[in-house]
């Protein structure tokens, strides 16, 4: 009998242990989160893309950061002052440690400033090329600018500070370019100062974040672990949310918003997004890389660009592909970010006019051209591109669409690979929340080697008058005058058909009702603001 009793007791013990284990597993707050795309690289300078930036901002930090209302607040810099318009003095926070235990000092800031502006970085426009960084002491840095820049800090949230010692010790002193074929150490490992650290990262499979116990500030979350999984398939992602397999998805496919809202355990956090989706055309090469037209570049002819613009039926894209959840745009910036946006109206959809323009330009039978498009980056990006293929086909243009995941897409079209595209779809949220960034980074000429202007101007549109205005806008502090100049600059791009803006998309996050979280209008998911029941 004793043996039996022993067994029974052991059984109870085992049950009790299991119960304890189980309950501790439940009380540990794990956030399971799925996004349609993955982090392209853990190197915070490889790709200036909101998904990558926003996720890495949970791990790395800049001198400043943005709060829930997108205001700039101190982060690694405790405070700053501007003794002269071109000299900024930053007092760095003391006692901050990187996740590997090293101290954060002025050397890291100076190293990061150089690294950010080195070839291969996709963030070169964040810090002016001619800015000099001077170390005053271990926790004070002076930044000397060539020209005054009142909005300098607006773009520094995603200038993330990398540890000098750690990067150099691991052969990652130089930034990893977006088209790198072999991953660098820093593209697979992270060492920031932020509220979370990356415990493991398997590209395309999953990334596990854990809270950083040594963080310098007070956590505003109650999470013990975050398991991030990319799920590209819309239906699978929604199914995972509905079944409770994940707590959070981004984005909710717009066709499923109703379905998600009708479920009892989840809801959609929605709002307008500040991102503008647009089409760009290669206007620099003398012959397009991917086109049936040889010996000349049809996009250099303004009539061709105008024809492309007028061939696109944006309202049908809105009602059919976006199900009403988009705001057609005439500008390359969201109306929330530029008060005079309403003065611009999209040219009317006019396929007959487009055909005529093409005929006038010497292409009565149209032509063929390649079309680059991501399919896991923006809301319904693949279907939008397919729709555009159809709309242009009706004016005689045959688009050879290459619709692929963003990892391959960005590697092909960005600067490190030599802007290898003829016609492409891209989206942009100015991280400064200001028009200057759009005018400088997207619409500015990219012919000056010494400046970072036009870093993401993949088509290479160039207008020196516009560039001149952009420089004036940077230093102008009178809001009315500044807006008038911005309007003038956008008018130039508008008249030149420099780009074809499509729309601002809507934000839609699928959130389990066990979560309380804040939604930022730039679509950045901040783990540090999530409370889980």
Partner 1 sequence: MTIPPPSAGPTSSGDSLWSRIMAHDLTYLFFRSPLTVVAAVLSVAIILAALMAPWLASMDPFDPAQVFLADANIPPVWQDGGDPRFVLGTDDQGRDLYSAILYGMRVSLVIGLSGVALAATIGITLGLIAGYVGGRVDAVIMRVADVQLTFPAILIALLVNGVVQALSKGTSRETWAFGVLILSIGLSFWVQYARTIRGSTLIEKNKDYIHAARLVGQPTPLILLRHLLPNVIGPVLVILTINLGLAIITEATLSFLGVGLPPTQPSLGTLISIGNKYLFSGDWWIVTFPGLTLAIFVLSINLIGDWLRDALNPRLQ
Distance CA 71, CA 9 (A): 60
Of 211-219, 401-409, 424-432, 442-450, the segment contacting partner 1 by CB under 8 A is: 401-409
Residue 394 lies near partner 1 (rule: CB under 8 A) = yes
Residue 317 lies near partner 1 (rule: CB under 8 A) = yes
Whichever of 267 and 341 has its CB closer to partner 1, that residue is 267
- Using the rule CB under 8 A, which residue among 117, 355, 412, 503 binds partner 1? 412
Whichever of 7 and 393 has its CB closer to partner 1, that residue is 393
Residue 267 lies near partner 1 (rule: CB under 8 A) = no
Q: Are the CB atoms for 132 and 139 separated by under 8 Å?
A: no
- Using the rule CB under 8 A, which residue among 86, 140, 267, 316 binds partner 1? 316
**Closest to 278 measured CA to CA, from 328, 313, 325:** 328
Whichever of 372 and 476 has its CB closer to partner 1, that residue is 372
Instruction: Report which DSSP code applies to 439.
Output: I
- Using the rule CB under 8 A, which residue among 199, 235, 271, 418 binds partner 1? 235
500 membership: H or E segment, kind and range: strand 500-512
Of 158-166, 188-196, 311-319, 502-510, the segment contacting partner 1 by CB under 8 A is: 311-319
Whichever of 409 and 461 has its CB closer to partner 1, that residue is 409
Cis amide linkage into residue 330, ω under 30° from 0 = no
- Using the rule CB under 8 A, which residue among 401, 484, 492, 518 binds partner 1? 401
Tell which positions 152-211 bind partner 1, by CB under 8 A: none
- Using the rule CB under 8 A, which residue among 200, 258, 261, 465 binds partner 1? 258
Cis amide linkage into residue 145, ω under 30° from 0 = no
Q: How many other C-beta atoms lie within 10 A of the C-beta of residue 80?
A: 17
- Using the rule CB under 8 A, which residue among 390, 418, 468, 475 binds partner 1? 390
Give the tokens for residue 133: 């960084």
Distance CA 89, CA 96 (A): 19
Q: Which residues pair with 202 in a beta bridge?
A: 206
State the minimum distance, in angstroms, from the CB of residue 249 to partner 1: 12
Greatest Cα pair distance, the chain, in angstroms, is: 101
Cα–Cα separations (whole angstroms), residue 414 to 129, 318, 459: 19, 28, 10
Residue 68 lies near partner 1 (rule: CB under 8 A) = no
Distance CA 531, CA 533 (A): 7
Distance CA 237, CA 89 (A): 46
Place of tokens 């205005």: 469
Residue 239 lies near partner 1 (rule: CB under 8 A) = yes
Instruction: Report which DSSP code applies to 210.
Output: E
Whichever of 391 and 521 has its CB closer to partner 1, that residue is 391
State the minimum distance, in angstroms, from the CB of residue 291 to partner 1: 12
* Site track for partner 1 across 270-309, x = CB under 8 A: --------------------x-------------------
Place of tokens 């897409």: 409
Residue 403 lies near partner 1 (rule: CB under 8 A) = yes
State the minimum distance, in angstroms, from the CB of residue 66 to partner 1: 33
- Using the rule CB under 8 A, which residue among 420, 492, 496, 514 binds partner 1? 420
Give the tokens for residue 487: 């309007």
State the minimum distance, in angstroms, from the CB of residue 255 to partner 1: 4
Tell which positions 444-473 bind partner 1, by CB under 8 A: none
Q: Cα angle vertex 214, ends 156, 66, to 5°?
A: 25
- Using the rule CB under 8 A, which residue among 86, 170, 255, 514 binds partner 1? 255
- Using the rule CB under 8 A, which residue among 387, 484, 492, 518 binds partner 1? 387
Q: Spell out the residues 6+ positions from residue 446 whose beta carbon is closer than 8 angstroms to its own.
A: 453, 454, 455, 457, 460, 462
Instruction: Report which DSSP code applies to 119.
Output: T
Tell which positions 4-43 bind partner 1, by CB under 8 A: none
Cα–Cα separations (whole angstroms), residue 3 to 14, 15, 174: 16, 18, 67
**Closest to 476 measured CA to CA, from 489, 462, 463:** 489
Helices and strands (H and E) in the chain: how many: 15, 19
State the minimum distance, in angstroms, from the CB of residue 443 to partner 1: 26
Residue 416 lies near partner 1 (rule: CB under 8 A) = no
- Using the rule CB under 8 A, which residue among 250, 313, 455, 467 binds partner 1? 313
Residue 359 lies near partner 1 (rule: CB under 8 A) = no
- Using the rule CB under 8 A, which residue among 110, 361, 389, 492 binds partner 1? 389
Cα–Cα separations (whole angstroms), residue 522 to 90, 232, 292, 474: 26, 21, 39, 22
Distance CA 470, CA 87 (A): 21
Of 221-229, 340-348, 383-391, 467-475, the segment contacting partner 1 by CB under 8 A is: 383-391
Q: Which residues bind partner 1 (CB under 8 A)?
A: 233-235, 238-239, 242, 253, 255-256, 258-259, 290, 313, 316-317, 319-321, 370, 382-383, 386-387, 389-394, 399-403, 412, 420
């Amino acid at each position: 009998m004793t043996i039996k009793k022993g067994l029974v007791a052991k059984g109870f013990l085992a049950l009790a242990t299991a119960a304890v284990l189980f309950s501790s597993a439940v009380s540990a707050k794990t956030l399971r989160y799925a996004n349609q795309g993955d982090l392209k690289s853990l190197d915070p300078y490889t790709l200036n893309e909101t998904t990558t930036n926003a996720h890495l901002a949970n791990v790395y930090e800049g001198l400043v950061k943005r709060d829930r209302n997108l205001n700039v607040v101190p982060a690694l810099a405790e405070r700053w002052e501007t003794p002269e318009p071109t000299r900024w003095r930053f007092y760095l926070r003391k006692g901050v440690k990187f996740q590997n235990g090293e101290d954060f000092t002025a050397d890291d800031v100076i190293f990061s400033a150089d690294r950010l502006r080195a070839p291969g970085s996709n963030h070169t426009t964040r810090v002016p090329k001619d800015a000099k960084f001077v170390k005053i002491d271990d926790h004070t840095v002076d930044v000397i600018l060539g020209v005054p820049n009142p909005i300098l800090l607006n773009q520094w949230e995603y200038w993330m500070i990398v540890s000098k010692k750690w990067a150099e010790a691991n052969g990652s002193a130089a930034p990893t370019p977006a088209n790198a074929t072999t991953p660098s150490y820093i593209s697979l490992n992270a060492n920031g100062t932020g509220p979370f650290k990356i415990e493991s990262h398997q590209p395309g499979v999953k990334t596990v974040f854990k809270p950083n116990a040594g963080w310098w500030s007070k956590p505003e979350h109650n999470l013990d672990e975050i398991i991030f999984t990319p799920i590209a398939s819309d239906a699978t992602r929604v199914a995972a949310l509905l079944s409770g397999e994940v707590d959070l998805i981004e984005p909710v496919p717009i066709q499923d918003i109703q379905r998600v809202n009708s479920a009892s355990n989840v809801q959609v956090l929605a709002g307008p997004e500040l991102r503008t989706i647009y089409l760009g055309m290669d206007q620099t090469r003398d012959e397009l890389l991917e086109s049936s037209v040889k010996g000349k570049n049809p996009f250099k002819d303004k009539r061709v660009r105008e024809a492309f613009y007028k061939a696109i039926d944006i309202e049908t894209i809105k009602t059919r592909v976006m199900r009403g959840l988009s705001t057609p745009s005439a500008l390359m910036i969201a109306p929330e970010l530029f008060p005079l946006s309403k003065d611009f109206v999209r040219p009317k959809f006019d396929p007959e006019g487009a055909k005529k323009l093409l005929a006038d330009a010497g292409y009565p039978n149209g032509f063929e051209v390649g079309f680059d498009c991501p399919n896991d980056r923006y809301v319904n990006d693949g279907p939008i591109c397919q729709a555009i293929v159809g709309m242009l086909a009706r004016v005689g243009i045959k688009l050879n669409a290459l619709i692929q995941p963003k990892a391959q897409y960005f590697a092909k079209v960005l600067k490190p690979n030599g802007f290898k595209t003829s016609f492409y779809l891209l989206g942009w949220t100015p991280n400064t929340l200001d028009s200057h960034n759009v005018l400088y980074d997207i619409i500015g000429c990219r012919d000056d080697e010494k400046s970072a202007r036009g870093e993401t101007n993949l088509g290479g549109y160039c207008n020196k008058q516009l560039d001149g205005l952009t420089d004036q806008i940077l230093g102008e502090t009178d809001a009315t005058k500044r807006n008038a100049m911005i309007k003038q600059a956008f008018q130039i791009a508008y008249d030149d058909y420099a780009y074809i803006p499509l729309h601002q998309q809507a934000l839609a996050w699928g959130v389990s009702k066990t979560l309380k979280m804040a939604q930022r209008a730039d679509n950045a998911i901040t783990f540090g603001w999530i409370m889980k029941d």
